[in-house]
Chain A
Amino acid sequence: MPRKSTAVDMTAMCDVAFLLLSFFILTTKFKSPDAVEVVTPNSVSTKPVEAKNVVQVIMDKEGKVFFSVGDESVDEKAQIIDMINEGKSLNLTEQEKAAFTKSGSYVGVPFAMLKSFLQLSPDQLKNYKAPGIPTDTANNELSVWMNAATRAFSGAKMALMVKGDNNAKYPSFKGVIDAFKKNEIFKFSMVTNPEGVPEGTALSQKRATGAKEE
C-alpha cells in the first residue's frame, strides 16, 4: 500500500488568512503621532470623540498648555494665525505662517516667542522644551487664541476639546476654563479613555434599563 501524502491543501487557509488580513487593514486607524505626550484619565462616558472642526487644548503632565487645530481645518488655521499676527503685530513671514498651517502643528509658547518657535525645523521641534501658553489671570494668552479660533470657526460648529494629562495640576485646568469663559464658551469636551461603570450605582441601573442619558 502506498504511503498517503501528508500534503494539505493550503488554498482555504490562505483565503482565510487574507480575508482576516484585509479586515484588519481596513479597520486599523493608526494613532497619529502626538505632538505632546499625554496620558488621559478614564471616564464612564461612551460618546466618541468628534473628528471634525477640532480645536484642542492640551495640558501636559507639568500643566503646560498647548493649542492645536485639527488637520482638516486648513483654512481656519490660516485665518487664526493671520488674526494672531495682526492682533499682536508679530510680523510673521509667509513661511512662518505655513509652519503653523501644516498638519500636526501645535503652539506651546507665549506670543513673544512665537516667531522663533515657528522657525524651528521638525527635528529641532522634537527636542524643543516648550514653556507652554501662559494661562494665568494677569496674562491669559490662551484666551486670545480661543478668541481667534471662535472667529475663524464662526458659522461652523467648533468641537472644543481639552486633553489633559492625569498629573496636570488643577490650576492650569482652571486657567484653561477661564480662557474659555472669557470668550463666552461654556461647553467643551474632555478627552478620556473609556472605563466600565461600577456595579450597583445609579448610572449602571440607568444603562441596564436603557434610560436616556443626558
Chain B
Amino acid sequence: MAEMDTSSGGGHKKGPGVKKGKKLSTRVDLTPMVDLGFLLITFFIFTTTMSQPTAMKLFLPKDTEKPEEQNKIKASGALSIMLGRGNGVYYYEGELAPDGSNFKSSNFKDIRQVIINKKKSTNPQDFVVVIKPGPEATYKNTVDMLDEMTINDVKRYAMVDIFQTEIDLMRATEQSGGVK
C-alpha cells in the first residue's frame, strides 16, 4: 500500500547497461504508523482541557467602627438583594418598610431587569447594590449575583450580612410560595 519514493536521488535513472547487485527495497509500509499517529491524536484531543478556569476578583470592604471611614450610602439609591433557599432572589429598594410592603420576590432571570431599571432611575453617584446572601443561599448563588454586578456594570456593590427581619420575611415568602 504505502510506498516511500526512494528513487529520487538526482532525478536521472541509471542507464540500461548498468547493473548492480540486487538492492533490497527501502520502502516501508507506513499505514500502521499513520494509524498509531491518529490514535494518539484522538487521545490527546480528548484529554486536552481547552477551557482553563478563570479568576473572578473580589474586593472586600474593611470592617470599621469609625464613622469617618465608613462609606455612606443614600438609602434612596440602594437596592438590596437577598438570596434565599432554592435559588430564590428577593429585593427591596431603599429602606425596608416596617410592614415589609416593599419586599418583593424575583428570580435570577428577572433580577437583571430590576437592576437595570434601578440603575437608570437613580443618580449614578447614589446607586449602590447591597447583596445579602441568606444562610440557605449557595455559593453558586453568591457568585452568580456578583457576576450580575459585572454584567450590568454596577460600580458600587457590597456584600453585607443579612438581618434577622429579612430572613424572617424570606422564610414567610418561601413558605407561602411553597419553596422547600
Interface residues of A (CB under 8 A from B): 6-11, 13-14, 17-18, 20-21, 24-25, 27-31, 40-50, 59, 161, 164-174, 177, 180-181, 185-195, 197-198, 201-204, 206, 213
B111 to chain A, nearest CB (A): 12
- Contact with A191, one of B38, B53, B136, B152 (Cβ below 8 angstroms): B53
Contact between chains at B60 and A44 (CB < 8 Å): no
Query: A201–B112 contact, CB under 8 A?
Result: yes
Choose one: B57, B112, B147; the contact of A47 (CB below 8 Å): B57
Q: Which residues of the partner chain A approach B1 to less than 8 Å between Cβ atoms?
A: 6-8, 10
| A10 close to B140 (CB less than 8 A) | no
* Residue pair A43, B60 in contact (C-beta under 8 Å): no
Q: Mark B135-152, 1 if CB is under 8 A from A, else 0.
A: 111111111101100111
Among the listed A8, A18, A180, A187, which residue makes an inter-chain contact with B57, where contact means beta carbons less than 8 Å apart?
A187
The interface bits of chain B over 39-64 (1 if a CB of A lies within 8 angstroms of the residue's CB, else 0) are: 01100110111011111111111110
- Are the CB atoms of B139 and A165 closer together than 8 Å? yes
B141 to chain A, nearest CB (A): 7
- Are B143's CB and A192's CB within 8 A? yes
Q: Which residue of A lies closest to B42 (CB)?
A: A24
State in angstroms the CA–CA spacing of A17 and B137 once bound together: 50
Interface hits, B95-153 → A, CB 8 Å: 112, 116, 133-144, 146-147, 150-153
Which chain A residue shows the least CB distance to B44?
A24
Q: In the complex, what distance in Å separates the CA atom of A30 from the CA atom of B52? A: 11
Question: Known contacts being A17-B38, A24-B41, is A190 close to B150, with CB within 8 Å?
Answer: no
Could you list which residues of chain B lie within 8 angstroms of chain A, going by C-beta atoms? 1-5, 29-31, 33-34, 37-38, 40-41, 44-45, 47-49, 51-63, 83, 112, 116, 133-144, 146-147, 150-153, 159, 161
A76 CB to closest chain B CB, in angstroms?
20
Q: Are A177 and B37 in contact (CB under 8 A)?
A: no
Query: Would you call A7 and B2 a contact (CB within 8 A)?
Result: yes
Contact B5 A9 (CB under 8 A): yes
**A14 and B52 form a contact (CB under 8 A):** no
7 examples of A-B residue contacts, CB within 8 angstroms: A11-B4, A21-B41, A28-B44, A41-B143, A43-B150, A195-B147, A202-B151
What is the bound-complex CA distance between A14 and B29, given in angstroms? 11
- Taken together as a complex, chains A and B put the C-alpha atoms of A170 and B167 apart, in Å, by 14
Contact status A190-B151, CB under 8 Å = no
* Docked complex Cα distance between A6 and B3 (Å): 11
* A167 CB → nearest B CB, Å: 6
Q: A41-B143, A50-B55, A192-B54 given as contacts; is B48 within 8 A of A202 (CB)?
A: no
B145 to chain A: closest CB distance in Å? 11
Instruction: List the B residue with the shortest CB-CB distance to A178.
Output: B63
